[in-house]
Amino acid sequence: MKKKILIISGGISKERIISLDTGKQVAKELLKNNYIVKITEPNFKLLESVKSFKPNIIFNALHGQFGEDGYIQSILETTGIPYTHSGVISSALAMDKELSKKIFIKNNILTPKYILYSFDKTKKNLLKVIENKLKFPVVVKPLNEGSSVNVFICTKSNLIKKIKLLENYKKIIIEKFIPGREIQAAIIGSKKLGAIELKPKRQFYDYQAKYNSKAKTQHIIPVDLSKNNYKRIMNIAKKAHTLIGCRGVTRSDFKFFKGKFYLLEINTQPGMTSLSLVPEIAKYYGINFIKLLELILKDASTNK
């Protein structure tokens, strides 16, 4: 009997376009492999779509706020139908950069030092605080966004200007900038999928570098690491995946500098577009796109 998969994509986050692309690519591949597929938006008709379509599994193809922060997950819990990727609590923890950092630090996972900045609390001597605690340059980013949306590398001279661009957010993270190599590692279920190195032409692997093919980011796989260092990065990624309580697939973003791996964040809803890293890693290690999707679907059905 053919399995029915309901794909939720689109949404209202700043990553809507990427989510639509992920949903389209997933649907195309599943249809090619004899699944019955329907795509829906996460709107007021969502539960109606679930009820009428009666899917075996719901594939969460959403990115960003409301899609990977526990919000949609709490709605999907009410359906009683298995859904892909992480659950309510783990999604919320991973999306909140401060909470996830606290978990990393508590469990001896190296992550860049940071301070939390609240717009409703005037910070006196901010530049001085940063000089004392972090040193410039620093990375400024929203507390709850994905895909490097509104992330800036700041010097002392442009910090205040960049922070003002983020005034719509209640809180932001100001983090010590770590130079070095950008390496990302993927985990699926209990399996260490693999790692990939990125060499962006831009200042860092930002939104344009991720999703604009003209940005010409160089993808390097296999990563040029010693066996010991490769084992280290994959072990850290697996540890973070487990500590946060993730299921399905995750991608952990690292900086490798002076022999140390710094975990920047863990992404519970990695993209499945033609430019996305997890499918590329999987393909290199002998897992084609449909097999990758089926592993994700399997983890949804066995963890619900």
Catalytic residue among 9, 11, 13, 15: 15
Told to judge if 41 belongs to the known catalytic residues of this protein, a careful annotator would answer: no
Told to judge if 265 belongs to the known catalytic residues of this protein, a careful annotator would answer: yes
- Partners of 253 in the β-ladder: 184, 265
Told to judge if 147 belongs to the known catalytic residues of this protein, a careful annotator would answer: yes
Told to judge if 15 belongs to the known catalytic residues of this protein, a careful annotator would answer: yes
Instruction: Report the candidate in 212, 213, 192, 209 with the shortest Cα–Cα distance to residue 281.
Output: 192
Using an 8 Å Cβ cutoff, are 184 and 195 in contact? yes
Told to judge if 251 belongs to the known catalytic residues of this protein, a careful annotator would answer: yes
Catalytic residue among 175, 253, 262, 299: 253
Residue 145: phi and psi, rounded to 5, are -140, 160
Catalytic residue among 251, 262, 276, 299: 251
Catalytic residue among 207, 211, 230, 262: 211
Using an 8 Å Cβ cutoff, are 151 and 173 in contact? no
Catalytic residue among 60, 90, 267, 276: 267
Got the DSSP string for 53-97? H--SEEEE---STTTSSSHHHHHHHTTT--BSS--HHHHHHHH-H
Catalytic residue among 148, 265, 276, 299: 265
State how far the Cα of 264 lies from the Cα of 95, in Å rounded to an integer.
12
Catalytic residue among 90, 147, 150, 276: 147
The H or E element spanning position 173 is strand 171-176
Told to judge if 286 belongs to the known catalytic residues of this protein, a careful annotator would answer: no
What's the DSSP call for residue 127? H
- Token readout for 108 is 């001896």
The H or E element spanning position 244 is helix 227-244
- Residue with structure tokens 């997933």? 26
Using an 8 Å Cβ cutoff, are 148 and 210 in contact? yes
Catalytic residue among 49, 182, 271, 299: 271
Catalytic residues: 15, 147, 211, 251, 253, 265, 267, 271
